[in-house]
């Protein structure tokens, strides 16, 4: 969960997203990083560099499956 709105996601691409996360949410940092990187990929200005929706689904599936078994 983000604790403030990020207006330019690329401004923080080189930094850890840990300071942006709500520690009470309990989301593992590695999963949050994975989603963050995927979001960055989806925001690429060149269409050919953005992932397809099937790629997005494939990248998110393990996170959803992993969170439902916790």
> For the segment 1-54, what is each residue's pLDDT rounded down to a tens digit?
444 444 445 445 445 677 777 777 776 777 888 888 899 899 999 999 999 999
> Is there a domain that residue 1 lies in?
no
pLDDT of residue 52: 96
What span, in angstroms and rounded, lies between the C-alpha atoms of 10 and 45? 12
Question: Is 61 among the domain residues?
Answer: yes
Q: Is residue 51 part of a domain?
A: yes
pLDDT at 31: 81
End-to-end CA distance of the chain: 18
Contact (CB, 8 A) for 22 and 1: yes
What is the extent of the structural domain holding 58? Answer: 9-68
Residue 2 lies in a domain: no
Query: Would 27 be classed as within a structural domain?
Result: yes
> In this predicted model, what pLDDT tens digit does every residue of 59-69 receive, in sequence order?
999 888 766 65
**Rounded CA gap, 57 and 14, in Å?**
24
Number of domains the chain contains: 1
Q: CA quadruple 30, 51, 39, 14: dihedral positive or negative?
A: positive
Flag whether 59 is in a domain.
yes
pLDDT of res. 30: 78
């Amino acid at each position: 969960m983000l604790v403030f709105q990020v207006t330019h996601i690329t401004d923080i691409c080189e930094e850890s997203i840990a300071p942006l996360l709500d520690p009470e949410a309990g989301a593992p940092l590695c999963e949050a990083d994975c989603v963050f990187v995927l979001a960055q990929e989806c925001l690429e200005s060149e269409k050919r560099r953005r992932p397809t929706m099937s790629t997005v689904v494939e990248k998110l599936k393990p996170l959803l499956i992993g969170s439902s078994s916790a």
